Amino acid sequence: MKKIILTFAAAFVLVGCQSKITGTLEVDGAPFAARQCRSGEAFGFYGIELTDTASRRLRIYPNADGTCAVALFKGDAATGDAIKRCGSLTMEKQSSRINSIHNVRGTAQLACEAGSHKITGNVEFENCH
């Protein structure tokens, strides 16, 4: 009986901590269908990283003036294309942690164009670790 209860509790923790991403983003005229979100804390910055179904990564992080910046990475590229001002980001740490990384939740409203990139849309996220 104890084993069943522990298994159920472990399953509840895993299901309860799944990330949730809603909203619509468009990058360079194509939908950015976010399938995963990670706290920037896992990569050494304060912000969020979204990964889409085409393995593009979009890092969103705050600027000191209240706006946010983004960096777009293609595939597993080590460096991305940065856009200094791209809208707004509100984000907060949640009380839950996984491997010492706080889960985060928040919203980003993006609208920017620089170089060959145009990024627009809104996204809400939670339980990103």
* 95 domain-assigned: yes
CA gap 113, 51 in Å, rounded? 20
Which pTM was predicted?
0.84
* 64 domain-assigned: yes
* 8 domain-assigned: no
* 2 domain-assigned: no
* 83 domain-assigned: yes
Question: Total structural domains in the chain?
Answer: 1
Phi/psi for 122 (5° steps) reads: -130, 145
The pLDDT tens digits for 9-42 are 344 444 456 899 999 999 999 999 999 999 999 9
For the chain, how are helix, strand and coil distributed in percent, rounded to 5? 15, 55, 30
* 3 domain-assigned: no
The pLDDT tens digits for 54-84 are 999 999 999 999 999 999 999 889 999 999 9
* 113 domain-assigned: yes
Neighbours of 107 (CB within 10 A): 15
Domain span at 54:
19-128
* 14 domain-assigned: no
Give CA 54 to chain center in angstroms.
15
Average pLDDT, stretch 80-100? 92
